[in-house]
Chain A
Amino acid sequence: MSAAATRMPRREFLKAAGAASALAALPVAAKAAGAASAKVVVVGAGYGGATAAKYLRMWSGGTIDVTLVEPNALFVSCPMSNLVIGGSRDMAFLTTTYDGLAHRHGVRLIRDTAIGVDTDGRTVRLAGGSLLPYDRLILSPGVDFLPDGVPGLETADAQARILHAWKAGPQTLALRRQLEAMPDGGVFAISIPVAPYRCPPGPYERACQAAWYLKRAKPKSKVLILDGNPDVTSKAALFRKAWSDDYAGIVEYRPNYVLTRVDAATRTAEFDVQDAVRADVLNVVPPQRAGAIARTAGVVTANDRWCEVDFVTFESIRARNVHVLGDAIQIAARMPKSGHMANQHAKVCASAVIALLSGAAPNPAPVLNNTCYSMITDKDGVHVASVHRYDAEKKTLLPVPGAGGLSPAMSEQEGRYAFGWAANIRADTLA
């Protein structure tokens, strides 16, 4: 599909915007009278960027002109994608169109890739050649894998044999196919990078979903978790219980396995200290950093990997009028890189951007929460939750003492809530 095919012609956009019920008569009248619209460009339509685009339109009553740049035609959710790898759900369950943002909210969608930012001239350059002017720019680029993060994974052949499946899409289904093709008695091994990385509990949930499948289909098989960290980084007690009870004899957890190299031909993983491990299916989650456009824009300020922001506005500490959301930011204490958090960043940012564009002060006391479900089986879920509020003195977000926590145990009720969460947050982001 060409970029032009997904771009909404201006005439169509105006028609859709005029019809949208979110637009009150007031801003439409103002538009007719020729009022200038502030321009916000959002790069990246994941849980962060798509939410920001929607809420900017919704909360400004349609008075802000919002352009959303995204190379993918469809939204494919990372949350819940491990269920596709386990085989209890299919890709359609993860996939949503961007139609709601365009038709209900009047977001201008451009299917293209942002390749340059001029922070002085306030323009974004797209691979297709367009130049987009902005008053405020919001980057929500997700993560890229460190280019030299995993020696041995340089070639396309190696990358096709050893999958990451850490960006939901074709690799999700490809990893499922590898598990289906694995013989009974085979070994599925997953390598986890040293934190921070996208979705702390994700690798452990994936191990559970692989084990759920293998326990039924190929019960002589093993799941090996090769963790670069000294301990399970999230929901540790809950995952350990699942591995010792539900998946006893299948899942084996090994801490301090820092990956140094892979051999794709033999599907062997090598480590800094520990002995090498050969697997029938080797799944490597590579080390990560902020997505490329953040580097291009010059807003990667922490450890050459992540973007530091002012947590009142999510504006970069480096570039004025450039905001960064989601997995790309340098997180504050106990703030995971999760889709739920990206959705929360986006609302704080949208509120602040609307205030700043109208010359008002942003909300000085933002509150965010995180609720993250992991599925242990096809039906049973567990959660971790936290609440974070801005500390004006320390100028950072701090977890509220006494709030948050883990499930006492996995349950079908929490599994139902997990599916309810997945449906609602996707609608909150896109519909």
Chain B
Amino acid sequence: MQFRFVAVLVAVTAATAGESVAQGSPPGASRDLAATCAGCHGTRGASQGAIPTLAGMESQAMVSRMQAFKAGTRPGTVMPQLAKGYTDRQIESIAAWYGAQRAQK
């Protein structure tokens, strides 16, 4: 019973997370990082109001935007401050995850 539960869980996690496990991060790491954005940008990046939607944003565009926030070359309010809290690899991981959300629609 317990084994079956484990097997199902692993399969579901892999199927829904849009993971890039090959990069050597633990399973769920991209999903967990991306979820830190959802408080402001909505679950899976679907925003209702003035804050931009992330779901479906092309991954490379998101990486460029985040790097510009981080470097201080793109103006913003909260994002220049938050972007500095994520490593380049974490930003790539988050962008890949939101990119994969579009593919699932």
Contact = CB atoms under 8 A, between A and B. Distances in A.
A34 B67 CA distance: 48
B25 to A, nearest CB: 8
Interface in A121-163: none
Interface residues of A, number: 63
Contact of B10 (A38, A55, A358): A358
Contacts of A181: none
Interface string A53-70: 001001111010000000
Interface in B22-39: 26-29, 31-33, 35-36, 38-39
Interface stretch (A107-115, A229-237, A253-261, A411-419): A411-419
A402 interface: yes
Contacts of A400: 84-85
A355 B17 CA distance: 14
Contacts of B29: 363, 365
Given A59-B31, A63-B12, A417-B51, A359 B82 contact: no
B8 A385 contact: no
Given A38-B5, A60-B9, A413-B77, A423 B49 contact: yes
Given A35-B8, A37-B5, A387 B39 contact: no
Contacts of B4: 30, 33, 35-36
Q: Which of A33, A34, A351, A357 is most buried by chain B, counting CB atoms within 10 A of its CB?
A: A351
Given A403-B81, A423-B48, A351 B28 contact: yes
B103 interface: no
Interface residues of B, number: 42
Given A26-B12, A366-B32, A369-B85, A420 B51 contact: yes
Interface in A325-359: 340, 343-344, 347-348, 351, 354-355, 357-359
Contacts of B48: 420, 423-424, 427
28 contacts: A26-B8, A26-B11, A26-B12, A26-B15, A61-B12, A347-B36, A351-B32, A354-B9, A355-B28, A357-B9, A367-B85, A367-B86, A369-B82, A388-B85, A400-B85, A403-B85, A404-B81, A407-B77, A413-B77, A417-B40, A417-B50, A419-B49, A420-B51, A421-B40, A421-B51, A423-B48, A424-B40, A428-B39
Given A357-B5, A425-B39, 9 more contacts: A26-B12, A35-B8, A63-B9, A359-B6, A360-B10, A367-B90, A404-B81, A404-B85, A424-B40
Interface of A: 24, 26-27, 30, 33-38, 55, 58-61, 63, 340, 343-344, 347-348, 351, 354-355, 357-361, 363-369, 371, 383, 385-389, 400, 402-405, 407, 411, 413-414, 416-417, 419-421, 423-425, 427-428, 431
